[in-house]
Each structure stands twice: as C-alpha cells, then as structure tokens.
Amino acid sequence: DVKVTQSSRYLVKRTGEKVFLECVQDMDHENMFWYRQDPGLGLRLIYFSYDVKMKEKGDIPEGYSVSREKKERFSLILESASTNQTSMYLCASSPTGRNEKLFFGSGTQLSVL
Amino acid sequence: GENVEQHPSTLSVQEGDSAVIKCTYSDSASNYFPWYKQELGKRPQLIIDIRSNVGEKKDQRIAVTLNKTAKHFSLHITETQPEDSAVYFCAASIAHYGGSQGNLIFGKGTKLSVKP
C-alpha cells in the first residue's frame, strides 16, 4: 500500500518564522503535490513537482516555496509565516501515466500565531 | 484555467435515501473527473473516477455520470448508510496520454450527513 507520510500532524509557529513541512512517499512516484485545505474553499494547489529538482507553481504559490532534492521527498517552505497561512496542508503523490490517482498524506494542521 | 463548481455545499439525507452531488467545469479539454471522499479527520481518498470517453460508471452503491456537452458530472450514492457521511470533492483535469498529467482542480466540497 502506498504510504505518504507528513512529518507533523500539528504545528504551531509564530509570525515571521521560517517553516518547513516535510513529505515522504515510499512508492517511487514521480509526481508530488502540496495542497492547502480551508473550510469552504476545498483543496487548492500550492506547488507541484513532476521530477527531482523540478517544481512548478500551482494556483496559490505566493508566500511559499518548495524543494525536491530526492524523488521520495517534497518539502514545502513558508519563508516568513503569516497568520493567513494558518491552514491544513496536504501532500500528495501519484505515478506518471494515465493513472492520475492521488495518494494523500494525513495532513499537517499549521497554526501561525 | 479550469474552474470547478460543486453543489450543494451541504447535504443531509435519511439512511437508505439517495444522494446526488453535482459539479460543473469550465475547460472543455478536461477529460478526467475523479471523486474523493474525506471522512472526518482523515485524508481524502479516491472513490470513483470517470474519463471523457465514458458517460457513466458504477461501483456498487456509487455511480458517476458525465455530460460533456453541458460540462457537468454528478456523483450518485444509493441506499445511503451512516458511514457515507463525509466531505466529497469532485475534480477535473486534462490527462495527456503518455506525457505529463494535468493538475487536478478541485471543487469546494460537499458535506454529506446521513441520518440513521
């Protein structure tokens, strides 16, 4: 069974801090994604990556960056956390090809105070 | 870019009744339409998907229909049970065969409550 693991389930940070959210998948998937989930807004794509060292902006990239140094690991970075970045962050992965099924991690609930 | 609208935002049904959730999309090139279920406190999971070369797909009590002309697709759950209570998300993307996949654009979700 595919496992997508996010390093923290809950995280509390202060405004202005640099925040790292880590995601690791164990199925050799090429594609990895970071989504943000807010009540009433659904799942919004922040950044994605189709290959190592490759990254592309999603719909709401402002205030975020990503890193993909290894195929299995995709990190989301909040350069200077702000209160409006308080949210549930979901990582997902999928294999390349016709099967676009996303496998999600269990999420990180980030609170920025 | 693609935009996906989902209705209703909340839906309450009695156990045993049917539930229908509807989505519309804007990009006529979209050709892949999955539905994800997210139970409280858990990760979203794919429950059914449909591609644009098919009009309907069924899997036990759930079915999805697609109307390409009208650019809408729907999730149908029959004989609902309390364990169907969850948030359901529709999504759309453009899948490129043999090449890079399109990104999934999600609807805002429907909270389904099934009352025993």
- At A17-40, the pLDDT tens digits run 999 999 999 989 989 999 999 988
CA-closest candidate to residue B88, choices B65, B103, B108:
B108
Distances (CA, A) of B33 to A57, A63, B98, B105, B108: 22, 30, 18, 10, 15
Q: Does A90 lie at the interface with B, CB-CB under 8 angstroms?
A: yes
The residues, ordered by sequence, that sit 6+ positions from B41 with a Cβ below 8 Å of its Cβ are none
- Give the separation between CA B87 and CA A39, rounded to whole angstroms: 11
Which chain A residues are within 8 Å of B109, Cβ to Cβ?
40, 42
Other residues' Cβ atoms within 10 Å of the Cβ of residue A79: 12
pLDDT at A101 over 90: no
The residue of chain A nearest to residue B87, with distances taken between CA atoms, is: A42
**What residue ranges of chain B have pLDDT lower than 70?**
95-102
State residue A44's pLDDT score: 93
A42:B95 CB<8 A: no
